[in-house]
Structure 1
Amino acid sequence: MARRPHKKPATNTNSLGQVRIISGLWRGRKLPVHDAQGLRPTTDRVKETLFNWIAQEIPQSRCLDIFAGSGGLGFEAASRQATQVTMLEMNRQVYQQLTRNVAALNAECIDVHHTDSLSYLDKPGQAYDIVFIDPPFRQGLIDEVITRLENHHWLTPNALIYIETEKELVLPPMPKHWQLLKEKQAGQVSYRLFERSES
């Protein structure tokens, strides 16, 4: 049973067009992913580490997945009993696949928005407890996202913020009230967890 022999295998463990939910309500469930150019699902290795870090904070939380892509982070949070998960995705076909996956899971706690993430955040919003920021690489989006999150009150006073970037990227200056809790690298990816501390 050959698997797409005409393509070289990618280094991403999710390169076969699906993401796997690691734990929770939909543990082991595999969801199809639209094969869009530049789409780079968070690997199982990184995702498992991240959710080990934040496992105790997920239940009953409100989560915002800003560049949803495959939805791997948002679906994992919902599976682990987040109260609300909001996904933002600009690519229409990727968005449509996300909505099909939400329907397949009957996931009433997940809302998917077909939108430009920066435009969506450029207005006042309801505050979220956990925010996932995993933007397309090498487009300089981190600083703009952080500015909008803070200026338009998208974060609860003690929100957790996950940031995944290309390894070589030097992060812009973080807000003074953001504390770096965790930091790791895997392959060509760096990932960090911050906690907001609003006095």
Structure 2
Amino acid sequence: MSRKSGYLRNGKIRIIAGKWKGRKILVSNQVELRPTLSRIRETLFDWLNPIISGTVCLDCFAGSGALGLESLSRGAQKVTFIDRNLICISVLDQVIQSLHEYNVKIIHADCCQWLQYSNDSYDIIFLDPPFRDYMVLFKVIFLLEKYNHFKEKSWIYLEVSKSVNIISSDKIPSSWILYRKIITKTIFCCLYLRKM
């Protein structure tokens, strides 16, 4: 998160609930990094809490890894973290090692390229791209569908700038059902349910 936005405090975020509740996690202190706000994470995982245990998750544009780490803390079986920023990936790898967590993949790659070669499918997919590059979100959505990275029933979380009218976008597949949304002064967040 941009320092101007005040989302980074001393380069750490806090795990909200689960086995690592209260644990402070180191994050890369880069200007473009924008971890999901704790109050939004709390609401999101309240929504996901009934189904998150045992799930396989994908944290695209992982950055700090906040969403994937919160998932693991709350009982997700496995999380794949992808980010093209090597510094973010290196810091995330340190965090994972410090937590002694082994049910993860940490991938330094461009999401759009990686999705074309992976055969994995997921119960929960987190899509939180850089605000300045929101068009990549639509490309990732297209690739997720084209290469069918979904389970029979999957949940997809999107977080974008409020200036992007994501709900009315024709880039959202008709098979994605809007389940919940959060709107703040600057952020638009949506949780979709996709069924085969």
User: 1:13 offset after TM fit, Å?
Assistant: 3.8
Deviation at 1:184, TM superposition (A): 1.1
Deviations, residues 73-101 of structure 1 (Å, cap 9, x unaligned): 00000001100100001111111000000
TM-aligned CA distance change 1:16 to 1:188, over 3 Å? farther
- 2:124 maps to 1:113: no
1:27 aligns with 2:24: no
* 8 A contact 1:88–1:117 mirrored in 2: yes
What residue number does 1:5 align with?
none
1:36 to 30, 33, 50: 30
1:6-155 aligned within 5 A: 10-139=4-133, 140-155=135-150
Shift of 1:143: 1.1
Q: Percent identity?
A: 34
Question: In structure 2, what is the Cα distance between the partners aligned to 1:87 and 1:129?
Answer: 14
| Alpha-carbon distance in structure 1 between the residues aligned to 2:44 and 2:127 | 12
Give the corresponding residue for 1:176.
174
Runs of 5+ in structure 1 lacking a partner? Answer: 1-7
Count, aligned residues: 191
Give the TM-score, by structure 1 length. 0.92
Distance in structure 1 (CA, Å) of the matches to 2:132 and 2:89: 22
2:8–2:29 Cα contact (<8 Å) kept? no
Q: SS of the residue aligned with 2:190?
A: strand
Q: Helix, strand or coil for the counterpart of 1:141?
A: helix
CA-CA distance at 1:9 after TM superposition: 6.3
Amino acid at match of 1:181: Y
| TM-score, length-scaled by structure 2 | 0.93
What residue identity is the alignment partner of 1:93? I
2:115–2:143 contact (8 Å) kept in structure 1: yes
* Cα-to-partner distance string for 1:85-125 (whole Å, 9 max, x where unaligned): 00001111111000000000001112111111111112242
Whole-Å separation in 1 of the counterparts to 2:89 and 2:45: 24
From 165, 190, 193, give the equivalent of 1:192.
190
- 1:11 Cα deviation after fit: 3.0
Task: Output the CA distance in 2 between the equivalents of 1:194 and 1:68.
Answer: 19
Q: Supply the AA of the counterpart residue of 1:142.
A: L
* Structure 1 counterpart of 2:153: 158
